[in-house]
Amino acid sequence: MVVVRREPYEWNEERLPYAKYTGRGYLEKLVDSQVTNPSDDILLYCSNGNLAANGYKNVKYLAGGISAWKNAKLEVKRNPKVGDY
C-alpha cells in the first residue's frame, strides 16, 4: 500500500502510481480500512519525506519524498483524473 499525505493541490498535480490519498487526521482510518495484516508493508511519502507512523510493523518511508522518486526517473502520474491510480 502506498499512502500519500500531502496538501490537496500537490496531490492534484502529481502522485505515485497506485497511491492512496489521506489528509491529516485520516491516516489511521485509511490504513485500517485497506490493510488487514499489521505486518503488511506500507510506504508513506509526502513532499519532504517527513511522516510519523504508529502501530504497523513494516512502515517504510520514501526518503526524499516524491522529489527523490522523480529524480530516480520513476513513474509519476501528472494531473491525474479521478480513478486514474
- Give the Cα separation of 50 and 75 in Å (integer): 21
Domains of the chain: 2-75 (3.40.250.10)
Write the single-letter amino acid at 69: W
Given this model, what pLDDT does residue 46 score? Answer: 57
Determine the pLDDT at residue 73: 95
Amino acid 60: pLDDT = 76
CA–CA dist 14, 66 (Å, integer): 9
d(CA 64, CA 37): 27
Q: Per the structure block, which three cell numbers stand in for 29? A: 482510518
Half-sphere exposure of 28 (CA within 13 A, CB side): 5
Decide: 20 and 2 in contact? Cβ < 8 Å. yes
Give the pLDDT score at 48.
44
Q: What pLDDT digit, counting tens, does each position of 36-82 carry?
A: 888 888 877 654 444 444 566 677 778 888 889 899 999 998 876 65
pLDDT digits (tens, 9 = 90+) for 16-39: 888 888 776 677 777 788 888 888
